[in-house]
Structure 1
Amino acid sequence: MNIEITPKESSGVDRHVQITVPAETVRDAEDKAARRYASSVRLPGFRPGKAPPMMVRKKFADAIRQEALEALVRDAYKEVVEKQDLKVASQPHVHDLKFEEGKPLTFELHFELRPTLELARISGFRVTKRAVTVTSDSVQEQLEAIRDQRAAWAPVEEKPMPADMVNVEISTGDDSSEAKSYPLVLGTGQAIPGIEELVMEASPGETVERLVRWPDDFPDEAQRGQAKLVRIKLHDVKRKSAPPLDDAFAREVGDFESLDALKAAIRADLTESSTREADAEVRQKLVDEIIGANSFDVPKSWVQQFAANYAEAYQIPEEDREKFATEFQSMAERQIRRDLVLETIAEREGLGSTEKDIDDRITAQAEKRGLNPGQLYAQLEKNGRLKEIERSLTEDKVFQWLMERNEVQTES
């Protein structure tokens, strides 16, 4: 394509390029677009594709010029990328477009490049790793959580207490609609404190009412601090009854001969989980050290897309997405920098995961879950999870490589 490419002042990963397309090339593009239109459009009195070219150009002048323009911009961008062997990170934006009849087409292309990481220093760092300790209180807390999961709700004929489940009708003085029944677990924040206090004044079957003040931090600002007459009718109260912590409980939970065996399994699980967390912290510290020692830019478009993906995944309301993107920006940029560092080291040092690595990981997972490895592989492939495993294995190799070249001290 006959075009003139003039690089403009750029910085970091941003690139601005001035494009000039000669009038003759523009005319050729318009002729090509006109021929395409002439071969397919229908005009009264003519068979498809048989209308005179001049008539077609006159009737579809704007559409033909628009098609020619889009083709010229697209081809110009492709030529810029291919001629300069660029690794582009984002789609281009067109600025200062001038497209006048019989004159050259001129415009600027703005786009971002994928950053090139030199990573001159990735060894010789010293990071600390917190000591992994699991206390008896932590074990007991987890044991109580398991016990709570197996607790049963039983009706009681007395006033409710915090943690009780109630079925209650609630109506306010400004509510003309029919009162509705709500299941509530008291003390969990499902209702405002004043209403919970009123509920706990009633016995099953009783109706009570009084003024309740709405809290100052109530989500609806218009209702903050207001006092309203609230009427509640308490239908029933249920209280949670937890089983005793004994050997029988341990056998019911799983394949444990005694309560001590269950506690030992809980301690082992907590130790394993805490060790994973400590290792993850060390990995992030190492990456932060590398990022701090090796400056590189991150494409803004990547950060924006990363934030947009999270907003979509967490179903952030449209009106809150701009605020979310602003608050999430630093976290998104940090994650992108981390990924770029790991990808660069993996590629440079040949640390990518192999098919055998993936097969071995899936086989180990299958044995742990009592599944056939082939069936698990097919399931992971169907759900698009193989890439995730490949990435995890590669990261493990990179961090193992980094651990051998940097000092990790365990806190005493």
Structure 2
Amino acid sequence: MQVSVENVGGLGRKLTVRIPAARLDDTVRNRVLEMGRNARIKGFRPGKVPTKVIEQRFGAQIRGEALSELIGSTFQEAVSSEKLRPAVQPSIATSGKPENGEIEYTATFEVMPEFGPIDVSGLEIVRQVASVEEPDVDQMIETLRLQRRNWTPVERAAQKDDMVLFELSAQAGDFRYPESGADRVGTIIGSNALPAMLEDVLVGHKADEAFEADLDFPADFRVAGLAGKNAHVAITVVRVQEPSLPALDDTFIAAFGVSEGGVAKFREDVRANLERELSAALAARLKAVTVEKLVDAHADLELPQGVIENEARDMARRAAGEGKPPLAHEPFLASARRRVAGGFLLAELARQNDIRIDSRRVAEMLQTIASTYEEPDQLIELYTRDPQLMSGLQSRVLEDQVVDWVAANAKVSEHSLSFNDVMRPGG
């Protein structure tokens, strides 16, 4: 096998490989013979199919598969001998036809950047710390009770925390919503499910009461014709319901799988769940700030543009939503670059410091993920049987291990937060 390498700007490489055509011919010949021994073709006894028949019917397929496998294996040999580290799958070009007793193909790809030794001792990282306190457990239990509250119709006027069903129509200039009749809407006053001015105007009104008001709709209101405009609104209250919370008794806690131990055991379970969520949130925050510091410290790192482009396209698809056309990927390129840089730096730190996947941590993370599902054993089995899912899980665990290593070797200070501060969206 002959190999030559050409630099194609930056991290691009063009690998030209020449292999003896006899290697392919031998593989094809052996497969034809093997298929002849096993093929079942009408008109021939098993194991007695002539070689020419096999070649006529399956020759092109066999040769194509053998060539693909040969290119794959020799490519790995070539990059290993040339000490190249491909960052992406190569683009292969070949006629597949022998010339002068050789088959030639070219593989174009980008390689991993040259990092050099990565020193993290100078990184200044703030690790956020928090703990679950009794008031946090109380608050979560109240949240669980609220989620299971009952609603009872009342004849009194609506007030905060009531559920109100009402019919609405609005006129803003020449625009009317809806075009005819009224839209039936429901909300819990104070929940901010609807703009505050709409919920507030319901207070003090009873079922079957009709009234009108002039309201200023927010700029981000879901109805474009009303967004950012003042409108004359007609409202008819259909029903007012007040909430009642379930008692914190054996019946209530049994719904959460607690059959023994009473409220004390229920509180233990709630605390354990909160601590698990808090631990994951704190780990995510530490990872985010660690990766940010690493990327900023290597801002001039040359990265494979193809990897960045692919990441930007993935981000655009996710931002568009499932089943919708992807957005233009160009606005995501800057964020994609940072993501790629972060992933590469973590992987390189693992390589340079011989950080290996901890199978115990993989099992623990899988158990943690599975515990959030009704049938955890089924999820564990799914991961166990799916190499792609398991590989993704292992990659996450390895990145977490690298983050822990960085935190142990960098300049780390701690900043205390409350449980709510950590768990607040966007906090």
- TM, length-normalised to structure 2: 0.59
Q: Which residue of 2 aligns with 1:164?
A: 162
- The number of aligned residues is 326
Q: For the Cα contact (< 8 Å) 1:90–1:301, is it kept in 2?
A: no
Where does residue 307 of structure 1 map in the other structure? 312
Q: Give unmatched runs, 5+ long, in structure 1.
A: 18-77, 93-109
**Counterpart selection for 1:353 from 341, 350, 357:** 357
Evaluate the alpha carbon distance shift between residue 210 and residue 392 of structure 1 in structure 2; reply closer, same or farther with a 3 A threshold: closer
- Opposite residue 165 of structure 2, the aligned amino acid is N
How far has the Cα of 1:336 moved from its partner? 1.8
From 136, 139, 142, the equivalent of 2:134 is 136
Please tell me the root mean square deviation across aligned C-alpha atoms, in Å: 4.6
Unaligned runs of 5+ in 2: 15-74, 92-107, 417-427
Deviations 1:347-403 (CA, angstroms, capped at 9, x unpaired): 344434388986787689889989897983355534942112221332344345445
Structure 2 equivalent of residue 337 of structure 1: 341
Name the CA distance, whole Å, in 1 between partners of 2:385 and 2:222.
44
1:136-184 Cα distance to aligned partner (Å, 9 max, x none): 3322221211111121122122222233222222223435423232333
| Map of 2:240 onto structure 1 | 237
In structure 2, do the counterparts of structure 1 residues 145 and 229 end up closer, same or farther at CA, with 3 Å as the change threshold? same
Letter in 1 for 2:205: A
> Following the alignment from structure 1 to structure 2, what is the Cα–Cα distance between the partners of residues 395 and 329?
23
- Partner residue in 2 for 1:153: 151
Question: Which AA in structure 1 matches 2:357?
Answer: S
Q: For residue 421 of structure 2, what is the aligned residue in structure 1?
A: none
Question: Which of 290, 298, 303 matches 1:298?
Answer: 303
2:214 to 206, 211, 214: 211
Q: Secondary structure at the match of 1:199?
A: coil
Q: 1:180 to 1:114 in 2, by over 3 A?
A: same
Of 386, 390, 402, 2:390 maps to 386
Shift in Å at residue 242 of structure 1? 0.9
Contact 1:121 1:290 in 2 (8 A): no
Cα distance, 1:330 vs structure 2: 4.7
Kindly tell me: are residues 277 and 332 of structure 1, through their superposed partners in 2, closer, same or farther at Cα, counting changes over 3 Å? same
Matching of residues 90-109 of structure 1 within 5 Å: none
**Paired residue for 1:96?**
none
Residue 341 (structure 1) shift: 1.5
Deviation digits for residues 258-279 of structure 1 (CA, Å, limit 9, x no counterpart):
4344334433433343333334
Q: 1:348 to 1:373 in 2, by over 3 A?
A: farther
Matched, 1:276 2:274: no
C-alpha deviation, 1:250, in angstroms: 4.2
The structure with the largest alpha-carbon Rg is 1
The match for 1:186 is 189
* Distance in 2 (alpha carbons) for counterparts of 1:157 and 1:279: 50
Q: 1:405 to 1:309 in 2, by over 3 A?
A: same
Distance in 1 separating the partners of 2:278 and 2:382: 32
Amino acid at match of 2:327: R
Amino acid at match of 2:214: L
2:86 aligned partner:
87
Distance 2:391 2:226 in 1: 50
CA contact (8 A) 1:132 1:271 kept: no
Deviations 1:264-296 (Å, cap 9, x if unpaired)?
443343334333333443344444444444451
Matches within 5 A, 1:389-400: 389-400=393-404
Q: Distance in 2 between matches of 1:116 and 1:179?
A: 65
User: Does structure 2 retain, via aligned residues, the 8 Å contact 1:211–1:229?
Assistant: yes
Q: Deviations over 1:293-319 (max 9, x none)?
A: 445123444334323323322435989
